[in-house]
Every structure is written in structure tokens, then in C-alpha cells.
Structure 1
Amino acid sequence: MTRSTRDPVRVLLLGGSLTEPSRSGALLEVAAGAVAAKGGESNQWHLHGTAGDDLADELREAARVADAIVLVTPQYHSSFSGNLKQLLDQLDSGQFAGKPVGLMSTRGGHAVIATEHLRSVAAAMRGLVIPTEVVAHDTDFLRVGDRYELTTQVLCERVLRFVEELLWFAARLRGAGETRAGLGDGSGPPKPWAGQLSPGITAAVAFIRENYAEPDLTLDTASQHAHMSRYHFSRTFKAQTGRRFIDFVTMLRLSGARKLLAETRDPVSGICHAVGYRDLAHFERTFKAWFAMSPSEYRAKYRTEVRVVVPPAALARTTTLKAVGHDNDGADR
């Protein structure tokens, strides 16, 4: 059945905790609640043991139909958990390619290593890792009966903005809401990445993600990193990613602007320059074309919304929950 671009965004949340109850499981539930609060649909997989072959096919189908993916893990042995690795081993780039991926982790120490490793894994599977990530400390949780609950106001607010950004990317990458001023070329919504990117485009995408805030980033500089001519790069980039170079850069810049508007008190003019725009008027026009509100209006709206914290036990439109046994792979997170 063909889905309409007006259908809710489907988010697959994959968690790999080591015990039950777990802090990472509580974080996954908060994210699912935020997805529902923002009008999306969540499908939760939270593994506590070994996934059998009967679950592997179901997981692959859940990943295939998802518009976005969230990976949630405790930090264990300076990386992500073995249980989450079991889930990821069932998937390939065919299920991740062209989809936004959000990263969340819990930890007791200070090094943010688990999400760094997951970022590399998601990128290798051709997912687009969104700029914002969520890292919670053990002290952000409270044991209540047989479950953990996230109790820190700041973390709850960050999860809400994290989910909002994930849904924003997902809607645009699947082609929803593309009929805005200045977007597209009249050929219809862009197609998502359908598989492996070529080495040249892979290098260019990595370069763009690292340098989108540079005002001197141009099609010419990106094509040099792909070792292609300007014309060939432009055609190949759109063919493989489903969108033009300038639209991809704009997505990253506006996502960065939203993050700064939500998390800082920096003036709009400063944020404009921080994400790669030289001209304030151009930045404000572009922002309003994508979001139907000015940067200042977005900041005010966001601060109003986050006053209502997503409750940890918020009901989500969850289609699947998998919790299989226990193992002795690590500490309670």
C-alpha cells in the first residue's frame, strides 16, 4: 500500500539495554512519547537477550517501512552495547540509506564514546545522522518501583527538540511538505537514497556535513572532494541523494540554526553567521520559507512548547515492543 506524504512519520526506535529495568529503556520510552506528542508513530524494539531468526525478518520489515531510526544504548566498555549490535547485525544499508538517524545514550562516566561509535556505524550504513544527540547521565534517572524514570527537566526538553529535528529531517527526506518557496526544481519530491553511495559522493557528503557552516562552501569545493567535474558532481549528487547540493546544505544549515535558537540566547544575526549565511535578510527569508515563521518567532514558539515536559510514561502510538530475556553483558544502564 502506497503511503501518502501526509501520513504520520514512522520512527523505529532500537534499544540495546543490558538489564531490565534499564535507564536506556526509560530514555527510549521518553523519545517514543515525544514522537507521539509531535504527531509521529513509534515502533519500539528494546532487546535484553538474543534475537532469534523469527524476529529478524520482522525487524528488517520494520526498518524498511520506517521513515527515521533512533538508536538508544548504554555506554558499555567504551562503546555501545552488544545487544544493540545484535539488532544492527540484522540490518543493512538498504534499511538505513537516506533516512535520518538519531543517537541517544546513557552513561555513568564522562566520555561520550558510545554515540561516536554509533555515528560511524550509521554513516557506514548510509544513514544521515542528525546534528543533535541526547546523552543522559545515570543521575538523570530515578528508580520508581520496577522502572526508571527520566527526571531532569533539561534532558526532557532536549529529547523533545531532538525528536522535532528528527521528524523535520524525515518529512523532507521522504518528500513531505516539499512544495515550499525555493525548494525543488518542479520535478516532484526527491527520491530517498536507494542504496550504496559511490565513494566520491560519500566523501562529498562527509565533507559537506563537516563544513556546512562555512560561508565559502560551494558546489565547486564539494565537487573537488568527490574528484568530479562541477557538472558531473551536480548530476551525480542529485541522482544518488535525491536532492540538489544547495538543498542538502540548506537543510543542514537550518537544522543548525534551529539548534542554536533553541539552546542559546545568541542574537539571530550571530546565529545567521554561525551556520554559514553572510546576509541576515537572506537567512531570515530562507528560514521563513521552510518553517512559515521567522527565526525569532521560532525561538519564542519553542520556548513555549518546552515548558510542557514530555512525561516519561507518555503514551505513544507504539506498534511493536520486543524484550527478550536477560544476559550478563554489562552493568545496569
Structure 2
Amino acid sequence: MDQRAMLLEPMDMPNPLFPIKVHRHASREQGLPMFPIHWHAHMEFLYIQAGEAEITCGSELYRASAGDVVVVNSRELHHGFSRSDNLKYDALIVDLALLMGPSSDTASTRYIERMADNSMTFCGHIRGDKSVTSCLSALIHELDEKGYGYELAVKSLLFQLAALLVRDYVAAVRGAEDSRVLSSNLERFAPVLSYIDEHYKDKLSVEGLAGQLGLSRFHFSRLFRSLTGRTVTDYVNIVRIGHAELLLRSTSLSVSEVADATGYNDIYYFSKVFKRYIGTAPSTLRRGS
């Protein structure tokens, strides 16, 4: 497999001629991963039905609760964790080619094509907007029921949702070249991000990770931060602490054993880092679970 594609999620659609789908998810344990870090060319809408979640899109961390919508832009790295014991959410995934006709018109060139190639991006966290949630609920209902003519209703609702986003939630509009560079860097750094996720227990250095791409420490660190919004050290700690939290909640390992299993050979430093990211000491979390 091409290493650049390691974080690219394959996106099969029930009907390739009508590329949209909805998945329902539930998590009964706080701290469990919702999904690993990945990206795809499709747009995704995570509609939280119950509970709470912590979702990272690009460089932004969102704490979403029931009624909130998290928007995942095209080609945007994202991952998430459950933050409650009763998390339920719907994931609506759409290939924006569905809204493009055989010939371009103003709506396509000015909005839809830009949304699809990541040159127009949207705010990732929507809260308290009944217009957006009503539109999403109607879309999910149509996809569930598949009544006669549902395809027409779905396309109409998608255009309505696009209009709501364009009017109220545009975060950035990039030039075509900036969008191309961003996508190229995302593919270039995919094997490094996968390596961190697979080798978080090991000693990781900026120099070693930069060497995988043949870059200097300075150039690598600058590109890494522009892509993820975090320093390399911060990113590695987030991955490690995420695994540590899961181990504390779901195993009988001691705090020192969890520290060792997630790449920390100093339990005091581990406790300090854990509290910084989770907000509570690992020993407190262990007693509570």
C-alpha cells in the first residue's frame, strides 16, 4: 500500500451513483475512541444525539454534547473520543460530487467545488442552530425511509444545508494553490502520523520523524504544526495520553504500568502530563473507575 494513503479512509457507498450515507454509533464507556485519526475527500457531519464527545478536526478540539453538530471538512484530519457513558451520534457522509451537474454553473464553481477541494472550509462546531439540526434530521430521515423520490428530497436538503453553511459558518476561503499544497502535505505526512500512532510506546524524536521524510528538524516542525496545529511533542503526548486513559478505564493495570505501556518511564512526569490533558490525576481516574 502507498504509505501516503495510510490515513485515507476507504469510503464505500451503498449506491455509488448516489454517494451519501449515514451511520449510527453508540459508546457505553467514557474514554473509548470514536474513530482513529484519518481523513477522506468527503464532507462529514457528526450529529450528537446523546452524551458528550471530544473531537479534533485539523488543529481544533471541540467538546460536543447532545444537539451539537461537528462539521468535518473535506481532506481534514480528524479523530475523536467518547466523554460519557451514553454517547450516541449519527455520522452523515457525503461526496459533494452528488451536487455537481455535468456542466458547471455558478453554484458549483463558487461554492460546491470549493467545498469539495477544501479551498472553502467551515467552522467545525455548530451549537444551538435549529435550522442546521432540522435540516440534518430531515436528511437522515429521508435516507432511513428511502420513500419514493427520496433522492430528490436528499439533494434538495443538501443544497439547503450548503446554503446555511455558506451564509453563517465559513471559516476560511483559500486560493487553489494553497488548497493543493495543504492536500499534498497531508498525504506527505500521513506515514509519519501513522508511525506515531503505531509506535507511541517507543522513544520518538523530532529528528527521527523528520528523517523519515528527509526534512530538517526546523522544516519538519514548521510543516507539522501548520498541518496539525500542534507541536510534535504536544501531538505525541495527546496520542499517548489517549491510550493511557483507555487503559486506566478498561484494564486492571496499575498507574505505573500504564505509564510504562504508553511511553513514559517517569511516573511523576506521566502524572503531570496526564493531568494537563485530561484535567485529573491518573490515580484519581483509576479510583473512580
TM tier, smaller:
0.3 to 0.5
Instruction: Name the TM-score, length of structure 1 as normaliser.
Output: 0.39
Instruction: Name the TM-score, length of structure 2 as normaliser.
Output: 0.44
Q: Which is bigger in relative contact order (C-alpha 8 A, separation at least 6)?
A: 1
